[in-house]
Structure 1
Amino acid sequence: MTAKPGSPLANRRTFLRAATAAGAIPAAALATGALAGTAQAASGPDLPDFAPVPAAAQGPALNGAGYFVGRIDGHLYWVTDGNYQAMFLSTREGVVLVDAPPTIGHNLLRAIAEVTRANGRPAKVTHLVYSHSHADHADHAGASSILGKDVVRIGHSECRRFLLRANDPNRPAPTITFEDRYTLQVGGEHLELAHHGPNHSPDNIFIHAPGHRTLMVVDVLYPGWVPFKQLAVSQDIPAWLRAQHIAMAYPWRTLVGGHLGRLGQRADGELQLAYMADLEASTRAAMSLDPAPYFAKYGPAGNSWAVLKTYLDAVAAAAAAPVVAKYTGVLAAADVFTLDNAGTLVESFRIDAGILGPFGTHP
């Protein structure tokens, strides 16, 4: 099987060969297909293989309808389809739902009906809390419309602004908004909502259920997994890095991260902090890479973009290699998104922190 030059597979192979030559990834891992870049011939697209997902990263089995609903504590529950998560409180007056991912869709209502039939409480959703809007896509709010017009929708003031701008009928804007903190009390239950500044998105909030020692914060911590690509496609990388520590400062026992198939525990948060600390340290070290060969190759032709692309790609590959080697088998998808996350850190260090390496001001 031959990958075309410049293809993602060819780039990944280049990264893995360089990392193996540097001793960062054992050659045996490539021979056994334990890491990306070992795609085998198949009848479909030329796709790479990746390391197996560790058992510890897997969530509970889904039912025949394609969802799982479970109790977190007391009358606090969660529901997942294996890729997205929502949380809900069953109260004496109705249900408070946090997020309405469209991939779960009407299974949200089925999960709620299942729970409320068992506990004898009302099944009607009376309140919906938006963790964030993400007006460029509807991954956590896109099923809001199935709840009807009478639901009280709550979110940060920026969430309302973004959703009014989006004008998406599937995501009605919240009618109750707040700036810093808001306590929602319904039917003997309560949630504490807080905005600690922008992170993954400008309006992303923390939803704390103190009576149940549970925190829901979306696209910040990924229990059992490395963060999604580009550090969760976050709009403010330094603030996203801080948000991890803000989340860990809450006194929670259980975390609802909004993605993937299982809940989190505090050990999961500590493991992600360790992963990110290693990636940050490795990226800082890699940014001293000598750019001379890249200028020598592309400079005479005046192709500045080629110089920068190949140099920055090489920095990201050097940064990612030891982290991939350390966390493969420990965190799911370490071999899938670490290279991408390293590239995002490189750009954030350059733009946000002024870490310019050999491109800094020199006497």
Structure 2
Amino acid sequence: MTTGREHSESTRRRTLLKGAVVAAVPAATGLLGGSLAYSGSASAADTLPEYAPVPASSIGPALNAAGYHVGRIRGNLYWVTDAYYQAMFLTTREGVVLVDAPPTIGHNLLRAIDDVTQANDMPSKVTHLVYSHSHADHIGASAILGKDVVRIGHTETRRLLLLDRDPNRPVPTETFDHRYVLKVGGERLELAHHGPNHSPDNIFVYAPAQRTLMVVDVLYPGWVPFKNLAVSQDIPAWVKAHDVAMEYPWQTLVGGHLGRLGVRADGDIQRQYMADLDAAVRNASATLDPTPYFHKYGPSGNSWAIFKTYLDAVARQAAEPVVAKYTGTLAAADVFTVDNAFALLESQRIDGGLLGPFGVHP
């Protein structure tokens, strides 16, 4: 049962998220026909940076009055989004299989499932929950499903959640190391772990009958990757995961973030973005003169200032042509490309041994 306090908090959160979406893309989506009432001062908003408009092709379907969209992918496979996060679910004659439970969507997951199952006279109870990985922003609403649901995740997901001890993320009741085939009520999901990428435990979830792949925090349809290459823990493996994803014969991608589904062209363009960024970082590392940074901060012995100013300058120089190429094509190219260049630069230095002026020289 939901208490009055929980209902009030849930309503407040949905209102905030709906307002943020309306404020961000009112012309493109026409979501609610209203405007966001800010409680802060206008002067604070005036000091915030301006960014390039979000391309219309990067925006997903309009949300309903409750702040979510639920749509059919193919057959009995559906997806839910609040324009920030995504989940996927299969309806079956034995119950619902849900993949991820993002807290920003929260109880709207259950409302979306009810929308679909009631319309199709199918059981609405969630019997199985698949964890894509352990991160709270993707499975932090798991607890709302109760204790009876079968939770499935990678062995490493269980280990990490046992360490986190988060009551909102109960540990998986069934785990696997490499592959797991889930069959429920005539439907099938194929789970696979291809090694670490965004996180040590991030898995690929493939629905073969629906030609749909869900892999989270790797591909971002219509957008550049989130800050610092999705805050990934293994950058070389994360880059390799792009190729692994494209080896699946999918037609539809559920990426876990933002407001629309992906098509194969989205995977191609992100791989090209990463190739361009890699080339630009390598070029900037090879051509940017480090002398001014050593001359400025070396005499005072401020080593960290040398590192910061030089590495920041390399990232900015590398990002410039990439931002110019992808602005208007990928949303937020001007928001996160400098951060992504910095993350790739650090990976090239630490993982690839391309140390630039900080390497061994004659």
TM-score, L = length of structure 1: 0.87
Partner residue in 1 for 2:124: 123
Determine whether 1:52 maps to 2:50.
no
> 2 CA distance for matches of 1:162 and 1:360?
35
Deviations 1:1-49 (A, max 9, x none): xxxxxxxxxxxxxxxxxxxxxxxxxxxxxxxxxxxxxxxx952252101
Q: 3-state SS of the aligned residue for 1:105?
A: coil
Q: Which moved more, 1:335-344 or 1:297-306?
A: 297-306
> 1 CA distance for matches of 2:74 and 2:360?
56
> 1 CA distance for matches of 2:101 and 2:201?
16
How far residue 293 of structure 1 moved from its aligned partner, in angstroms, is 0.8
Partner residue in 2 for 1:66: 67
How far residue 218 of structure 1 moved from its aligned partner, in angstroms, is 0.1
Q: Which has the higher helix share?
A: 2
> 1 CA distance for matches of 2:108 and 2:309?
46
Partner residue in 1 for 2:24: none
How far residue 355 of structure 1 moved from its aligned partner, in angstroms, is 0.6
Partner letter of residue 123 of structure 1?
S
Deviations 1:260-315 (A, max 9, x none): 00000000000100111000000001112221111111111111111111000100
Determine whether 1:85 maps to 2:86.
yes
> 1 CA distance for matches of 2:134 and 2:361?
44
Q: 3-state SS of the aligned residue for 1:72?
A: strand
Q: 3-state SS of the aligned residue for 1:90?
A: strand
> 1 CA distance for matches of 2:335 and 2:277?
14
Partner residue in 2 for 1:151: 149
Partner residue in 2 for 1:133: 134
> 2 CA distance for matches of 1:260 and 1:67?
12
Q: Which moved more, 1:170-179 or 1:41-50?
A: 41-50
> 2 CA distance for matches of 1:93 and 1:58?
34
Partner residue in 2 for 1:338: 337
Partner residue in 1 for 2:265: 267
Deviations 1:300-334 (A, max 9, x none): 11111111110001000110000001101110000
> 2 CA distance for matches of 1:309 and 1:165?
33
How far residue 360 of structure 1 moved from its aligned partner, in angstroms, is 2.2
Determine whether 1:172 maps to 2:173.
no
Deviations 1:63-90 (A, max 9, x none): 0000000000000000000000000000
Partner residue in 2 for 1:291: 290
Partner letter of residue 328 of structure 2?
G
> 1 CA distance for matches of 2:302 and 2:142?
48
How far residue 164 of structure 1 moved from its aligned partner, in angstroms, is 1.1
- What does 1:181-260 align with in structure 2 at a 5 Å threshold? 181-260=179-258
Partner letter of residue 80 of structure 1?
T
Partner residue in 2 for 1:322: 321
Gap runs ≥5 in structure 1? 1-40
Partner letter of residue 342 of structure 1?
A
> 2 CA distance for matches of 1:130 and 1:336?
29
TM-score, L = length of structure 2: 0.87
Partner letter of residue 174 of structure 1?
P
Question: Which runs of 4 or more aligned residues in structure 1 lie more than 3 Å from their structure 2 counterparts after TM superposition?
Answer: none
How far residue 362 of structure 1 moved from its aligned partner, in angstroms, is 2.1
> 2 CA distance for matches of 1:92 and 1:140?
26
Q: 3-state SS of the aligned residue for 1:126?
A: strand
Q: 3-state SS of the aligned residue for 2:51?
A: coil
How far residue 231 of structure 1 moved from its aligned partner, in angstroms, is 0.2
Q: 3-state SS of the aligned residue for 1:139?
A: helix
How far residue 148 of structure 1 moved from its aligned partner, in angstroms, is 0.6
How far residue 162 of structure 1 moved from its aligned partner, in angstroms, is 0.8
> 2 CA distance for matches of 1:269 and 1:306?
38
Partner residue in 2 for 1:27: none
Partner letter of residue 103 of structure 1?
T
How far residue 359 of structure 1 moved from its aligned partner, in angstroms, is 2.5
Q: 3-state SS of the aligned residue for 1:69?
A: strand
Gap runs ≥5 in structure 2? 1-40
RMSD, aligned CA: 1.0
Partner letter of residue 106 of structure 1?
H
> 1 CA distance for matches of 2:207 and 2:321?
38
Alignment length, in residue pairs? 320
Q: 3-state SS of the aligned residue for 2:347?
A: helix
Deviations 1:214-257 (A, max 9, x none): 00000000000000001000000000000011001100000000
Partner letter of residue 322 of structure 1?
P
Partner letter of residue 248 of structure 1?
M
> 2 CA distance for matches of 1:103 and 1:328?
28
Identity of aligned residues (%): 76
